Amino acid sequence: MNALERKHAVVIDAPDEVKENEPFEVEVRVGEYQEHPNEPGHFIEWMELYSGDTFLARLSLTPEKSHYVMKTTVKLDHSHPLRAWAKCNLHGLWEGSKEIKVE
């Protein structure tokens, strides 16, 4: 990873396996490997979470005051990978993903 990739990497924390339609917690973070700026001229505008192509959650952010962490609780009925997006106002869209098994 180069410095730009380290600053924008989208990390998803979730269990490797969950039970079908049973709620579980997911945390999505940016800046895990290198802190991303958080100022009016350069910040993360929003984060989104999907299961495959199915929308699950969205967080809108404001510079300086909100951190790049989205915590939510979801439930799934299919084993599609979790996918998260983060939008930097200067550097565009960044994606992270995590395999998750639904039983």
User: Of 15-23, 47-55, 69-77, 88-96, which segment contacts Fe ion by CB under 5 A?
Assistant: 88-96
Q: For Fe ion, which is the closer residue by CB, 7 or 83? A: 7
Tell me if 80 contacts Fe ion by CB under 5 A.
no
DSSP of 42-75 = B-EEEEEEEETTEEEEEEE--TTTS-SEEEEEE-
Considering the complex, what minimum distance in angstroms separates the CB of residue 1 from Fe ion?
Answer: 14
Tell me if 6 contacts Fe ion by CB under 5 A.
no
Q: How far apart are CA 103 and CA 7, in angstroms?
A: 34
Q: For Fe ion, which is the closer residue by CB, 44 or 100? A: 44
Q: How far apart are CA 29 and CA 25, in angstroms?
A: 13
Residue with tokens 């396996």: 17
Binding-site residue total for Fe ion (CB under 5 A)?
3
**Is residue 4 classed as helix, strand or coil in its secondary structure?**
helix
In the list 88, 94, 96, 100, the residue contacting Fe ion (rule: CB under 5 A) is 88
**Is residue 5 classed as helix, strand or coil in its secondary structure?**
helix
Tell me if 59 contacts Fe ion by CB under 5 A.
no
Residues binding Fe ion (CB under 5 A): 88, 90-91
